[in-house]
Amino acid sequence: MKAISLNQPAGVRANAALILSKLLQQQGSLATQLPRSSDGTDASALPLLKELCYGSCRWYFQLDNALAGLLSKPLKAKDLDIRCLLVVGLYQLAHLRTPDYVSINETVNAVALLKKPWAKALVNGVLRQFQRQLSTGNLEYKTDAAQFSHPQWLIDLLKTAWPERWPMILEAGNRHPPMSLRVNRQQISRADYVQALHEAGMGAVTGVYASSAVYLEKPCPVDDLPGFFQGWVSVQDEASQLLPDLLKPAAGQRILDACAAPGGKTCHILETEPEPAEVVALDIELRRLERLHENLHRLALDSERVAVVGADATQTHSWWDGRSFDRVLLDAPCSATGIIRRQPDIKLLRQPTDITRLTELQSRLLDSLWTCLKPGGVMVYSTCSILPAENTEQISAFLTRTPDAVGIPITADWGIACEQGRQILPTDHGPDGFYFACLQKQG
């Protein structure tokens, strides 16, 4: 199908439907499917397109359940775009302040842009029926998936893992995330940066757990942040900002940041300890390493102390020179179930089989990178997952099969102590869901 222009309201809705249909077919992610103004896209249309896509993903399981009750018969597989357009229409009626007549009319107009004029009456009828249901409060969600708008397989895992907390976790996953910043204290103190935000008319408060964290009262483009291009600040969740405190980098140490791109952790290590012997930033995705270089440069942290390497961390023979590291940070690839509020497309993209695949990869990374750590050295393992299989169970299994590995207890006023490591669960206004474990090599 020829690309649909975003220069009209119906085109925005048609594009949202096409993006949603691609996600349901496991094609890309919101990060890769959403256009950018730098690509020549009309910048004025992007906020609405992003809102429709993010919101439709966030509430997909609830909206799709409602849609099933509104259709006299299921749509054919080849009409996935119409089904997705209906979900986009339901999202507007249920969650946006756009006048109902605008949402309905422009969603109906989008049918012609999708080249399926037969569906015009269907879309109009379904949306008006849903509008009546909303006005009367006649909506029933008979399953957990519909009520909490998460996939049932994930809800089942969370019920087992967190039997008293799973509703809170799911509700937090449907909230809009706060915008949190990491202050580069090599350049400005946190107190002075908060003052700079206030002088710029931006409300902000300091984080509770990480000494570099600041929360904005309202999200804004990074271009509007005081000193962003001068390297004063970066966007990073508060939970992730706890990593240097656990890693405890020191002057003269050789440090490995495995799975480093796009560079937030590497930069934070250097902001915390500016005089390591060397920091090796390793990642398998070469394209994302470009962002790492950009972040190092913006924060004035690029130097001969930093080596950026593109390679598979599990294939140590291809990148490791045999010199052991004092510290290893493994922020491992994971299900990302702790950051669903930031990336709601995870609800559509992640599948139960992914958990097995990811835990196997995490095991290989742990085993491979452990060989690079010197005796007495420390490895910090972290994920943005809230599933025990990727976290405390993963570390328990590693300790069982690794005689020279010892778990270091994490004593903190944040998170939940696990059998191994410590877990932060997502909340409405605090950090994302994150897991941490500290391991020391004996000998």
pLDDT in tens, 82-114: 999 999 999 999 999 999 999 999 999 999 999
Rounded to the nearest 10 degrees, the angle between the axes of helix 166-173 and helix 152-161 is: 140
The pTM of this model reads: 0.95
Instruction: Give the CATH number of domain 179-235.
Output: 3.30.70.1170
pLDDT of 429 reads 79
Query: Of 259, 372, 384, 438, which is the active-site residue?
Result: 384
By CB atoms closer than 10 A (0-12, 13-18, 19+), residue 302 is middle
Tens-place pLDDT, residues 365-401: 999 999 999 999 999 999 999 999 999 999 999 999 9
pLDDT of 139 reads 82
Spell 378-415 as b/e; 16+ CB within 10 A means b.
Answer: bbbbbbbbbbbbbbbbbbbbbbeeeeebebeebeeebb
Closest residue by Cα to residue 181 from 249, 261, 268: 268
Q: How far from chain centre, in Å, is Cα 297?
A: 24
Q: In the beta sheet, which residues pair with residue 215? A: 180, 205
pLDDT of 7 reads 87
Domain limits, the chain = 9-149, 179-235, 240-441
> E-assigned strands of 284-430?
306-310, 325-331, 373-383, 405-408, 416-417, 422-424
Q: Which CATH superfamily is domain 240-441 in?
A: Vaccinia Virus protein VP39 (3.40.50.150)
| Distance separating the N- and C-terminal Cα atoms of the chain | 62
Average pLDDT over residues 159-170: 97
- Whether pLDDT at 439 is above 90: yes
Task: Identify whether 384 is a catalytic site residue.
Answer: yes
The second-level CATH assignment, the architecture, of 9-149 is Orthogonal Bundle (1.10)
pLDDT of 427 reads 85
pLDDT, greater one: 138 or 241: 241
pLDDT of 37 reads 73
Local confidence band at 38 (pLDDT 50, 70, 90 cut-offs): low
Tens-place pLDDT, residues 322-358: 999 999 999 999 999 999 999 999 999 999 999 999 9
- Whether pLDDT at 1 is above 70: no
> Could you tell me if 60 and 149 are in contact, meaning their C-beta atoms sit under 8 angstroms apart?
yes
DSSP-derived letter for residue 5 is: P
Beta-carbon contacts of residue 321 (< 8 Å; ≥ 6 apart)? none
Local confidence band at 2 (pLDDT 50, 70, 90 cut-offs): low
Q: In the beta sheet, which residues pair with residue 181? A: 214, 235
Q: In the beta sheet, which residues pair with residue 437? A: 381
